[in-house]
């Protein structure tokens, strides 16, 4: 399977919305291919005479800041890895699927398929689309500081039932923003799952 990790950096919002926004469908794509697939859809649409049926192509991301080796590093984090949100006029006035548009989407390299019910994909509900757009407005351009924790680093718990206890980082889940900390309880090492904000690095 082709790896697309080196593809162009993710972009939050694609083309401008249509005068009357089309329904929004969820497209599943290969991992790390989101930006490449989005670019391909936009470019191919312009040359295939179906761009009048397409609206925005959304690829929600947010910026994270962390400190590495004393330097501030900013990188993008995908909010929905493996998915694109595509506004399109998939059904005609009679409710029949536009087969040419469906094939255009499905034949794009990196597309796995529509997310939804069987052979007739259903669009997202308006409330879900509004929530995604709200995320874009909130996250775009805002850098979220992320502590640069490492396995083996001593930390102090500052929130929750174990507040005030010290421990050592056993594992880190950066996507979820959580870590597992080994805490000494009643003379035994006990693993405790915590969110980043619940701990601080212990001064050595």
Higher pLDDT, residue 26 or 61: 26
Give how far Cα 167 sits from Cα of 66, 191, 192, Å.
22, 9, 9
pLDDT of the residue at 65: 66
User: Any idea which architecture 24-145 has in CATH?
Assistant: 2-Layer Sandwich (3.30)
Q: Among all chains, which residue has been given the structure tokens 């680093």?
A: 153
Which CATH code of 3.10.129.10, 1.10.630.10, 2.30.30.30, 1.10.3300.10 fits the domain covering 154-201? 2.30.30.30
The full set of domain ranges for the chain reads 24-145, 154-201
Contacts of 94 (CB under 8 A, 6+ apart): none
Higher pLDDT, residue 116 or 151: 151
Can you name the residues that pair with 36 across neighbouring β-strands? Answer: none
Mean pLDDT of all residues in 97-112: 94
The answer to whether 3 and 43 have CB atoms below 8 angstroms apart is: no
pLDDT of the residue at 74: 74
**Mean pLDDT (the chain, rounded):** 78
What global pTM score does this model have? Answer: 0.60
Give how far Cα 109 sits from Cα of 6, 32, 39, 81, 181, Å.
16, 13, 11, 17, 42
pLDDT digits (tens, 9 = 90+) for 132-167: 777 666 555 555 445 567 888 898 888 777 888 899
Lowest mean pLDDT among 20-24, 57-61, 83-87, 140-144: 140-144
pLDDT of the residue at 52: 85
pLDDT digits (tens, 9 = 90+) for 63-93: 766 655 556 677 777 878 889 999 999 999 9
């Amino acid at each position: 399977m082709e790896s697309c990790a080196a593809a162009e950096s993710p972009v939050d919002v694609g083309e401008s919305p249509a005068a009357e926004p089309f329904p929004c469908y969820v497209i599943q794509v290969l991992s790390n291919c989101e930006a490449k697939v989005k670019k391909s859809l936009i470019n191919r649409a312009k040359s295939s005479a179906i761009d009048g049926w397409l609206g925005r192509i959304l690829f929600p991301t947010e910026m994270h800041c962390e400190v590495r080796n004393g330097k501030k590093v900013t990188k993008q984090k995908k909010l929905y890895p493996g998915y694109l949100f595509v506004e399109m006029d998939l059904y005609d006035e009679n409710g029949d699927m536009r087969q040419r548009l469906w094939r255009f989407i499905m034949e794009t390299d990196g597309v796995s398929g529509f997310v939804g019910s069987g052979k007739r994909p259903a669009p997202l509900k308006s409330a879900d689309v509004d929530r995604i757009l709200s995320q874009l407005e909130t996250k775009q351009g805002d850098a979220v500081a992320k502590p640069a924790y490492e396995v083996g680093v001593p930390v102090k718990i500052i929130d929750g039932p174990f507040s005030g206890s010290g421990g050592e980082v056993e594992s880190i889940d950066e996507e979820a923003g959580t870590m597992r900390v080994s805490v000494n309880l009643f003379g035994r090492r006990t693993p405790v799952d915590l969110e980043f904000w619940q701990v601080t690095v212990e001064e050595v």
